[in-house]
Structure 1
Amino acid sequence: MNNLIHLRHTLHQFPEVALEESQTAQRILDFFQPLEPDQVYEKLGGTGLAFVFKGKKPGKRLLFRCELDALPIEDLKESPHQSQTKDKGHLCGHDGHMAIICGLGEKLAQNRPEKGEVVLLFQPAEETGDGAKAVLEDRRFEQIKPDFAFALHNLPGYPMHQIVMRNGTFASGSTGMTITLTGKTSHSAHPEAGINPAQALAKLIQELPQIPKEASGFALLTLIHAELGSLAFGTSAGKGSLSITLRAYDQQDLDELVEKVKAKAQAVAESERLSVEFGFEEQFAVSVNDPELYQLVEETAKNLGLSLVEKPEPFRWSEDFGLFSQVCPSFLFGFGAGENCPQLHEGTYDFPDELIGTGVEMFEGILLELQSQK
């Protein structure tokens, strides 16, 4: 276990953000070299890695996934392993998640699975929602496409080691959306000679947040950023933009919310003689847990003597693992990082080392449970 803690601390010291995780990937590659996996896939979806351990007999292919990337946020917690990279930190616990999958790799190296294959995936760019899509679109993914996929995420605010479960939607889907309005600049002494998007922008700021109230299920629209023209006092603005984040617990509800926002923006733009364009970033699919895998994960936690809690509502945040639930039966669960642990994405957060062993045991238990099934 000490080697996994040491690895976690090293990863914490040298964080890399989405799409830049080359040194992190190399450290993981070096860790796995003596474990002698049967197959290694490098630069999967960019900087991703996958290690395949083959069983003695034919069977199902299981995938266990973690994340490579850190956040562009300063690590404020003083420790011997504090981030050495300015304004970047593992403040979501991906360093701990990687250590857990490395621990599972050690177990598989000692005892190959009885049947089938186990794929250990280190996915890039989870924080931006780009990584899962890139991995799934990599032509080599077909060679490791799983029958079942699993992931976990540590959760501050819950008792240490407690397993947090949900049947169906575990975390919402979301998308970042930018509405760009283009008119015509003019001298500020003669604004009537131009087409200023100010009124359209004001109208959208007021009216767009009302759209989710029409949805049958949970839907949320959050205003993120607005911009109008430039700081030029002699010029009446000719361009403006509004950035929003849309969330929903159901993928269809999210898709419908996007279409309703587009329709409203087009109508407002037309009434103000403006052209309109839409841009999308940080798109996350809804994370949906397979009901048949629920019992298996629950049984594993009980066998380990771990506390279980059923979350009444899905989490409002999003997880890039959601895209895997569109590929195969998947399951994402949380496990408590301590009731007094700083929240994710806070500068003082640090993944608790004592969770590494629990995570390894959960994943190994899930693997053994599935292996025992006919």
Structure 2
Amino acid sequence: MPALNRIADYAPEMTAWRRHLHQHPETRFECHRTAAFIAARLRDFGITEIHEGIAQSGIVAIIEGQGAGPTIGLRADIDALPITEETGLPHASEVAGKMHACGHDGHTTMLLGAARYLAETRNFSGRVALIFQPAEEWGGGAEVMVKEGIMERFGITRVFALHNAPGVPEGRFEGAPGPIMAAVDTLWVTVTGQGGHGAHPEECADPVAAIVQMVNGLQTIVSRNRKGTDALVISVTQIHTGTADNIIPETGWFCATIRTYDKAVQTMVETRCHEMLSGIAAAMGVRAEITFERGYPATVNHAGDFDFALGVAAEIGSGAGECEPTMGAEDFAYMLEARPGAYLFLGQGDGAGLHHPRYDFNDAIAPIGASYFARLVERAQPRVAESDKAA
């Protein structure tokens, strides 16, 4: 069953919603036009409990089921990226320097499709909280929504999310128990020495030589300070220094992205970065200003909820199975720290990868994702039959 029949009937409208969103991308917390579009569609579906302005432009909408029960949360991210689109498609971004290059327009459409179906059928008990979240790409909108109290305010007991996956066969669901995406931290190091003529290095304290030693030294944390079974990536991504070929500069700086799954490994890396880089700076006669900036935590699927979600996915898509965790990051991690739940990937077939200027969401998978969300609710919170109530 690739999609619920009723949701499959929405496909043309879902495509229109998605392409409208794609043409009008907004970034970070400034997703006000996007939020207004979402709220208008929810009202069209007959949903009356719509809470706007959470995390500036986020929305939580509530659908009441039939009979008492818990509240299940379904989340979609709604923000775009600061990328100039190169698809040349008729529905390409109309906003210079911004595009939906990660498929959040598709995620929003999936949740809207599920919302329409659930509002029509209400074949579940308890409540559904539809979470439309800004600032996934930058700003940690999920953390802000959690800190603003959405879990407690709306009584959410479990929470689920979905992300499209280029390169995975169309309609196939994948995921992993435990960590599925990594924590992401950023290391910033500014090195200050004594500049001078390149012909007389003995008169200088060379920040370039110190930075080279530091960059090489960082990799020994990976090779010598972690257990072989612990996941860890340290990638230096920028080095900036110097103005001419015959001048030893006064200063330079570099940064690195650090990916881990385990909090103990994360803490070890932070400690060793300070120890090692300070030691190299002292040995090289320079000064190092070191900032270890913690970002999104690891996205960790709860075991029982992951098994449940993958089982539901197997009913809907063209297949479902486990995959290797990725060292990418996702701020849904904050919601999974606050409540049990699971995060899956949905294959969208071949095409440009995420965050690429020629990426476009595959509209064919929107009804599949919407069906998954809807079936999650019906399976997690089945409606109690009248005969059972009487008994």
TM-score normalised by structure 2 residue count: 0.86
Percent of aligned positions that are identical? 27
Asked whether 1:219 is paired with 2:232, we answer yes
Q: Is the 8 A contact 2:78 2:105 kept in 1?
A: yes
Letter aligned with residue 218 of structure 1: A
Distance 1:227 1:295 in 2: 46
1:75 to 82, 85, 89: 85
Letter aligned with residue 217 of structure 2: E
In structure 2, runs of 5+ residues without a counterpart are 1-9, 385-391
Tell me the CA shift for residue 149 of structure 1.
Answer: 0.8
Tell me the CA shift for residue 107 of structure 1.
Answer: 1.8
Asked whether 1:257 is paired with 2:272, we answer no
Equivalent positions of 1:1-374 (< 5 A) are 1=10, 2-112=12-122, 114-128=124-138, 130-139=140-149, 142-144=152-154, 146-183=156-193, 195-214=205-224, 215-216=226-227, 217-228=230-241, 231=243, 237-279=249-291, 283-304=295-316, 306-311=318-323, 313-338=324-349, 340-372=350-382
Tell me the CA shift for residue 142 of structure 1.
Answer: 3.2
| Greater relative CO (CA pairs within 8 A, separation 6+) | 2
CA RMSD of aligned residues (A): 2.5
Equivalent position SS for 2:42? helix
Tell me the CA shift for residue 27 of structure 1.
Answer: 1.7
Structure 1 pair 152/185, CA: closer, same or farther in 2 (3 Å)?
same
Distance 1:358 1:81 in 2: 22
Equivalent position SS for 2:314? helix
Distance 1:156 1:240 in 2: 38
Distance 1:88 1:282 in 2: 26
In structure 1, runs of 5+ residues without a counterpart are none
Q: Is the 8 A contact 1:64 1:151 kept in 2?
A: yes
Distance 1:205 1:349 in 2: 33
Structure 1 pair 138/278, CA: closer, same or farther in 2 (3 Å)?
farther
Give per-residue Cα distances to partners, 1:157-176, cap 9 Å, x unaligned. 11110011211111122122
Partner of 2:389 in structure 1? none
Q: Is the 8 A contact 2:125 2:382 kept in 1?
A: no
Distance 2:144 2:201 in 1: 46
Equivalent position SS for 1:354? helix
Structure 1 pair 145/73, CA: closer, same or farther in 2 (3 Å)?
farther
Distance 1:330 1:277 in 2: 40
Structure 1 pair 35/158, CA: closer, same or farther in 2 (3 Å)?
same
Equivalent pairs, count: 371
Distance 1:50 1:137 in 2: 14
Letter aligned with residue 272 of structure 2: K
Structure 1 pair 15/274, CA: closer, same or farther in 2 (3 Å)?
same
Equivalent position SS for 2:18? helix
